[in-house]
């Protein structure tokens, strides 16, 4: 098996998660690089060395693909995949991307859970007052209305906060991608 074949097989195996059409397009570019190197009198080993480690190339390609998906689909699942693709590029990214992302995502989740709990508490006050008479009906309805109003306000604020978190994370991932690609060239 030639150096080119081993290189391409390793690269392709690491890009298996990418849709076939996109993967073939990327791999074609690398085949062309090997072909041009041989035509210019360069060995396949030199061409492979010039390209660099196929694992790093695959990680960079995956990162770009995942960031692009997160950008077009506005899905936290896609954003999380992009974050984890970034983390695969080194220790720096584990510390400066994964930690803050998980911490902020956990805070957002806790705030959403608190908003839901406040809404449920409003309903609970009314139901509990009807059954046990803890509050008079007008008092219970007033408290229920207040908690429901606060829940609506929280949801509006959290929706904006979540969208901002998503956009800022995506911007940072793009910035990080440019830095990583700049450092490896």
pLDDT confidence of residue 185: 46
User: What pTM did the predictor assign?
Assistant: 0.67
Give the tens place of pLDDT for each residue, 70-100: 888 878 888 888 887 777 666 666 677 778 8
- Hey, CA dihedral for 154, 159, 63, 9, is it positive or negative? positive
Mean pLDDT within 49-75: 86
Mean pLDDT within 134-141: 92
CB 104 within 8 A of CB 111: no
46 has pLDDT over 60: yes
The residue among 17, 20, 13, 48 whose CA lies nearest residue 34 is 48
Residues 6+ apart with CB under 8 A from 53: none
182 has pLDDT over 70: no
Give the tens place of pLDDT for each residue, 143-160: 999 999 999 999 999 999
pLDDT confidence of residue 143: 94
Mean pLDDT within 104-126: 95
């Amino acid at each position: 098996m030639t150096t080119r074949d081993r290189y391409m097989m390793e690269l392709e195996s690491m890009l298996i998660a990418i849709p076939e059409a996109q993967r073939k397009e990327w791999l074609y570019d690398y085949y062309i690089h090997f072909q041009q190197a041989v035509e210019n009198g360069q060995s396949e080993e030199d061409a492979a060395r010039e390209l660099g480690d196929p694992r790093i190339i695959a990680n960079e390609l995956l990162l770009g693909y995942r960031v692009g998906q997160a950008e077009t689909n506005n899905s936290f699942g896609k954003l999380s995949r992009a974050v984890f693709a970034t983390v695969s590029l080194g220790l720096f990214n584990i510390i400066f991307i994964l930690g803050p992302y998980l911490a902020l995502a956990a805070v957002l989740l806790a705030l959403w859970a608190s908003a839901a709990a406040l809404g449920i508490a409003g309903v609970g006050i009314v139901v509990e007052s009807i059954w046990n008479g803890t509050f008079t009906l007008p008092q219970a309805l007033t408290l229920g209305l207040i908690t429901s109003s606060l829940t609506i306000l929280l949801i509006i604020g959290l929706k904006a906060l979540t969208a901002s978190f998503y956009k800022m994370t995506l911007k940072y991932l793009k910035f990080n991608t440019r830095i990583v690609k700049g450092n490896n060239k």
